[in-house]
């Protein structure tokens, strides 16, 4: 069952890309690179890596997505690795155990639940594109420790307006 959780501002570093539903790897596969970049500078992740959806246009199969890694204190970016913060606020959260391919149904259920609760998302729509203030998929399972994607744990966090 989804829950509403209040989160503080959370600093992170990440990379951004414009992708399609079949080219997620162009951004998601860079999480290891960002973790390595942090390690080279003496920093460790302060939580689970995530994908942050900035813009979603499913009819045109175009998404603007970030791959981010939280840090304990703000870190300066370099090159295409940038520093930012996830905004503080109330988030609708849901957990999923299983293959990431199953997330579409979990997301649909969370959005439906939010509508039933009368929640307004931190999202605007323009010309068929959803622009999200903060919509996250957090990857709680380290694929090096658990290579079977059917055993992965993922949290969804969607900011409420």
Relative to beta strand 153-159, strand 89-97 is antiparallel
Q: What is the mean pLDDT of residues 73-84?
A: 96
* Chain segment 15-63, per-residue pLDDT in tens: 999 999 999 899 999 999 999 999 999 999 999 999 999 999 999 999 9
Q: What is the pLDDT of residue 143?
A: 87
Relative to beta strand 129-132, strand 62-70 is unpaired
Question: What global pTM score does this model have?
Answer: 0.95
What token pair was written down for 147? 């290579």
Q: What is the mean pLDDT of residues 78-84?
A: 97
Q: Is the pLDDT of residue 144 over 90?
A: no
For 80, what's the count of Cα atoms within 13 Å in the CB-facing half-sphere?
A: 9
* Domains identified in the chain and CATH numbers: 3-159 (3.20.80.10)
Distance CA 108, CA 102 (A): 11
- In terms of Cα–Cα distance, which of 132, 141, 102 is closest to 114? 132
Average pLDDT over the chain, rounded to an integer: 96
């Amino acid at each position: 069952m989804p829950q509403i959780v209040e989160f503080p501002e959370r600093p992170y570093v990440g990379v951004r890309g414009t992708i399609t539903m079949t080219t997620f790897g162009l951004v998601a596969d860079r999480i290891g690179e960002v973790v390595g970049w942090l390690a080279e500078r003496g920093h460790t992740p302060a939580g689970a890596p995530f994908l942050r959806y900035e813009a979603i246009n499913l009819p045109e199969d175009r998404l603007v997505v970030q791959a981010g890694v939280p840090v304990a204190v703000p870190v300066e970016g370099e090159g295409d690795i940038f520093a930012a913060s996830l905004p503080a606020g109330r988030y609708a959260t849901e957990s999923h155990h299983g293959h990431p391919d199953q997330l579409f149904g979990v997301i649909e259920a969370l959005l439906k639940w939010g509508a039933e609760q009368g929640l307004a998302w931190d999202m605007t729509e323009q010309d068929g594109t959803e622009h999200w203030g903060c919509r996250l998929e957090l990857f709680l399972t380290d694929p090096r420790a658990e290579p079977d994607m059917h055993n992965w744990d993922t949290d969804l966090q969607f900011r409420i307006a």
